[in-house]
Amino acid sequence: MPDSEKRRTRPPAGKKPLNVYIDVDHTILLSTANELHLRPGTREAVARLKAAGHRVYIWSASGASHCHRVVELHGLGEWVDGCFDKDPAVEPPPDLIIDDDWYLVEKYGGFAVRPFRSLDPKDDELLRVLEELESLGHL
């Protein structure tokens, strides 16, 4: 089975605007003792999703205020439609998620990425997700 099929579950259908929920910790953010590092490709990913007409939400088990801090600190606000706590009853409901937790990707549908646990300028996880969304006609 190709890697892309292992990383994706219940791909979205059609070309309607999607509610895309992106996880924070270990998906787009690496916290070290001194700094909060944004995963390579994060800005491009949220910008392309927004430019394609999708609604982009950031959520985290650490809470909405944590998401707001990350969005503000890393200048993502122009592309982000909202910040939320990871709550199964979140509104609007996710059409797909991007997360390092495979269980949640299976639950909601979307794309699993390798956990962002170390700095690697060659990290292309989010760019690969964009390629897969493009192949499905969503970008």
| Residue-by-residue DSSP string for 38-53 | EPTTHHHHHHHHHHTT
Calpha distance 16→59 (Å, rounded):
22
Q: Tokens standing for 32?
A: 């070290």
Q: What is the pLDDT of residues 15-44, one digit of tens each?
A: 789 999 999 999 999 998 889 999 999 999
Residue boundaries of the structural domains of the chain: 18-135
Q: What is the pLDDT of residues 75-84, one digit of tens each?
A: 999 999 999 9
Q: What is the pLDDT of residues 47-88, one digit of tens each?
A: 999 999 999 999 999 999 999 999 999 999 999 999 999 999
Query: Coil, strand or helix: which one is 66?
Result: helix
Q: What is the pLDDT of residues 116-128, one digit of tens each?
A: 999 999 999 999 9
Fold of 18-135: Rossmann fold (3.40.50)
Taking the whole predicted model, whether its pTM rises above 0.85 is answered as yes
Model pLDDT, residue 33: 87
The whole-number average pLDDT for the span 100-118 is 96
Model pLDDT, residue 13: 59
